[in-house]
Amino acid sequence: MPLISVIVPVYKVEKYLERCVDSILCQSFADFELWLVDDGSPDGCPALCDSYAAKDGRVRVIHKENGGLSSARNAALDRAAGKYICFVDSDDYITSDALETLYTALTETGSDIATGNMVSIDENGETKDFYTPTKERKVLEGEEILSTMNQPCACNRLYRAGIFRNVRFPEGRLYEDVFVYHKILSQTKRMVFTGKTDYYYLIRQDSIMHSEYNIRFTDIVFAIKERYEWLDSIGQKKLANEARLFVYSRVAAAYANLDRTVPENREKLREIKDIYISCYRVLMNDRSLGVKQKIRLFLLRYLPAVHTKFFGKEMPLALG
């Protein structure tokens, strides 16, 4: 049985897949299995996955109908045999010692999750820091772990496999990592930051998350609703209200960007407006918010067109 199961969903990434897979197969830590999940990719990726499996016994391939990133990850989670789980997106890549660094930090500190630093890289090869919580190893316990919610990316981490026994990614949704991260944290007693950069995240202009605003972007509202409900349940009122402020900003963005003459958009706006109203009622009773902030909340609640006129299409993440 391999110690680590590395899961890579594959869809229309023929240009990038070899770099990704090669970065995994050349790891200094060799005790792993690699799951390549061909999510109905219409290009040369399925054959490329099979060629890797034929050359390296650690590679396992799943061919399935297209179901999206969550569906692909879930298919591999259902089969993964490793004691630990690691996710790598197929257009990204990792350093040659990434698994060793994560595994060593996790086992030496008795942690449930090890997290590395991330660098973003564009298609011209230019890099910049993407997520660098620390430059040295650091262990988080208890409420400290909640500080990682601002970066819920499933990648750049090594997880104790038991965390995913009853956790699966939501199929058919964007922001799948946000939907599950609080469920992961609810089972995490200790997390370690390695302090080392081991993950390169590709910024692609043709990716869904960099496309023009569309109705699917409203999925974030439903994800954050689950987050603040969980935070309420564990008595984290301040963090729950910060999540509600994030709902405010995303609902404001939806009203500013979606054409309300389209029936589908109108229905979605009604759904997320209902969620916002429940947030509004709580936030208006939050004494830490000032008058100007509450005016903005009021305008979005009752006069969203006026709110858009004054504050535009790009909403801040919070009200400060």
Note the pLDDT of residue 6: 98
Parallel/antiparallel/unpaired status of strands 32-39 and 59-64: parallel
Q: Residue 211 pLDDT more than 90? A: no
Whether 191 contacts 136, CB under 8 Å: no
The CATH number that applies at residue 158 is 3.90.550.10
* pLDDT tens figures, 257-298: 999 999 999 999 999 999 999 999 999 999 999 999 999 999
Please say whether the beta carbons of 269 and 258 come within 8 A. yes
Task: Give pLDDT, residue 314.
Answer: 62
Q: Is the model's pLDDT at 190 over the cut of 60?
A: yes
> Do 165 and 305 share a structural domain?
no
Whether the per-residue pLDDT at 219 is higher than 50: the answer is yes
Residue 320 scores a pLDDT above 50: no
Res 125: pLDDT: 86
Q: What is the pLDDT of residues 108-127, one digit of tens each?
A: 999 999 999 999 999 888 99
**The pLDDT of residue 212 is above 90:** no
Identify whether residues 124 and 51 lie together within a single domain: yes
Domain match, 221 and 175 both? no
Strands 190-203 and 113-122 turn out to be: parallel
Of 187, 208, 229, at which residue does a domain stop?
208
Measured between alpha carbons, how far is 254 from 64 in angstroms, rounded to an integer?
33
Q: Indicate whether 42 pLDDT > 60.
A: yes
Q: Are residues 129 and 243 in the same domain?
A: no
100 and 31 within one domain: yes
Task: Look at residue 319 in the predicted model and tell me its pLDDT.
Answer: 44
Q: In the structure encoding, which two tokens stand for residue 60, read together?
A: 């396992």
**For residues 225 and 269, what is the distance between their CA atoms, to the nearest angstrom?**
15
- The answer to whether residue 25 is domain-embedded is yes
Token code pair at residue 13: 């990434």
pLDDT tens digits, residue range 57-100? 999 999 999 999 999 999 999 999 999 999 999 999 999 999 99
Mean pLDDT (the chain) is: 95
Burial class (CB in 10 A: 0-12, 13-18, 19+), 104: middle
At residue 34, the pLDDT reads 98
Instruction: Examine residue 318 and state whether it is found in any structural domain, yes or no.
Output: no
Does position 213 have pLDDT exceeding 80, yes or no? yes
Spatial distance between the Cα atoms of 111 and 132, rounded to a whole number of angstroms: 19
Mean pLDDT of 292-316: 88
Q: Is the residue at 319 inside a domain?
A: no
Is 320 part of a structural domain of the chain?
no
Cα–Cα distances in Å, from 210 out to 64, 175, 207? Answer: 26, 13, 5
Task: Please give the pLDDT value at position 315.
Answer: 58
Domain final residue pick, 151, 174, 208 = 208
Average pLDDT over residues 214-242: 97
Same structural domain, 202 and 218:
no
* 220 lies in the same domain as 190: no
Are 141 and 222 part of one and the same domain? no
Among the candidates 208, 227, 253, a domain finishes at 208
Q: What is the DSSP letter of 77?
A: H
Q: What is the mean pLDDT of residues 240-256?
A: 96
If asked whether residues 22 and 136 sit together in one domain, one would say: yes
Better-predicted residue by pLDDT, 143 or 206 = 143
Is 222 a domain residue?
yes
Question: In Å, what is the CA distance from 104 to each residue of 74, 111, 158, 224?
Answer: 26, 10, 10, 33
On whether the CB atoms of residues 252 and 312 are closer than 8 A, the answer is: no
Q: What is the pLDDT of residues 8-23, one digit of tens each?
A: 999 999 999 999 999 9
Residue 137: inside a domain, yes or no?
Answer: yes
51 and 99 fall within a common domain: yes
Q: Which domain holds residue 113?
A: 4-208
- Sorting pLDDT into bands at 50, 70 and 90, what band is 316? low
**What proportion of the chain, given as a percentage, has pLDDT over 70?**
96
Same domain for 80 and 105?
yes
**Are 171 and 202 within one domain?**
yes
The tally of domains found in the chain comes to: 2
- pLDDT for 40 equals 98
**Domain presence at residue 76:** yes
Contact residues for 163 (Cβ-Cβ < 8 A; gap 6+): 85, 112, 113, 184, 187, 188
Whether residue 317 is contained in a domain is answered as no
> Residue 204: its pLDDT value, please?
80
Token pair for 272? 């997320």
Q: Lowest mean pLDDT of 31-45, 167-181, 227-241, 303-317, name the range.
A: 303-317
**Interval 125-181: pLDDT, tens:** 899 999 999 999 999 999 999 999 999 999 999 999 999 999 999 999 999 999 999
